[in-house]
Amino acid sequence: MHIVELVKANAPITGEQIAELLGLSRPTLRSDLALLVMLGLIDAKPKVGYTPGVTVTPGSIAAQHLQQIKVKDVQSMPVVIREQSSVHDAVVQLFMEDVGSLVAVDDEGCMTGVISRKDLLKFTLGNTNAAAMPVSMVMTREPNVVHVTPEESVIDAARKMINHQVDSLPVVVSKSSAADGRKRFDVVGRITKTIMTKILLDLAIKG
């Protein structure tokens, strides 16, 4: 890989300079240079010369691939509950749907909060009245809910889950008719660390 190394060390460099440094004739070099450009290992810029291609590493290739996967491509169905529902109903629904958290919504279906296994466990242990309480008393309330939009990349979603230490995010779209000026969201999906684990597995086992 003399040529690629030479270009890396001296970029930009002309074909003539490369030929001179390697002690080769231009015609001998021509097909090698053309092939290296085609393979993306070096770039040819008219009137400038040759520059190194974009470095290819496991990270850069995976990053390129992952940045193209959007939340909407992998999200699962949202699981919602009315905020007036009881804690008992929330626990039942968590088990019925086998999810780690529910999105609480108001009468218009807009997100008002999120309630997780963790929230419910903290609240129910030793609290005999817990089961009858409304979900709205236990949930994390908007605007403290970390969310993601369908057009964000899965990497953005992964970053939010890690930074905010949550196991899932509601996927939301802004409600157009926010008459009172408050931001309101419709819930269109959910994305979880389980989905991230599946993406990692897919990346590793598929071609």
Q: What are the strands of the beta sheet with 80-82, ordered from one edge?
A: 80-82, 101-105, 111-116, 140-141
Residue indicated by tokens 């097909």: 31
The single residue among 9, 35, 77, 178 that binds a second copy, judged by CB under 8 A, is: 35
Beta strands in 11-110 (DSSP E): 42-45, 49-52, 80-82, 101-105
Return d(Cα 84, Cα 92) in angstroms, integer. Answer: 15
Please count the other Cβ atoms lying within 10 Å of the Cβ belonging to residue 61. Answer: 10
From 50-58, 102-110, 134-142, 143-151, span contacting a second copy (CB under 8 A): 50-58
Site for a second copy in 115-134 (CB under 8 A): 117-118, 120-122, 124-126, 128, 130-131
Minimal distance, residue 165 CB to a second copy, in Å: 8
* C-beta of 103 vs 130, nearer to a second copy: 130
* C-beta of 32 vs 106, nearer to a second copy: 32
* C-beta of 121 vs 137, nearer to a second copy: 121
Q: Three-class SS string for 143-189?
A: CCCCCECCCCEHHHHHHHHHHHCCCEEEEEEECCCCCCCCCCEEEEE
* C-beta of 90 vs 111, nearer to a second copy: 90
Question: Is residue 162 within 8 Å of 47, Cβ to Cβ?
Answer: no
> For the chain, how big is the Rg over CA atoms in Å?
27
* C-beta of 9 vs 63, nearer to a second copy: 63
Binding mask 90-109 for a second copy (x = CB under 8 A): -x--xx--x-x---------
Return d(Cα 111, Cα 40) in angstroms, integer. Answer: 47
Under the rule (CB under 8 A), what is the footprint of a second copy? 1, 28, 31-32, 35-36, 38-39, 41, 55, 57-67, 87-88, 91, 94-95, 98, 100, 117-118, 120-122, 124-126, 128, 130-131, 154-155, 158-159, 161-162, 165, 167, 193-194, 196-207
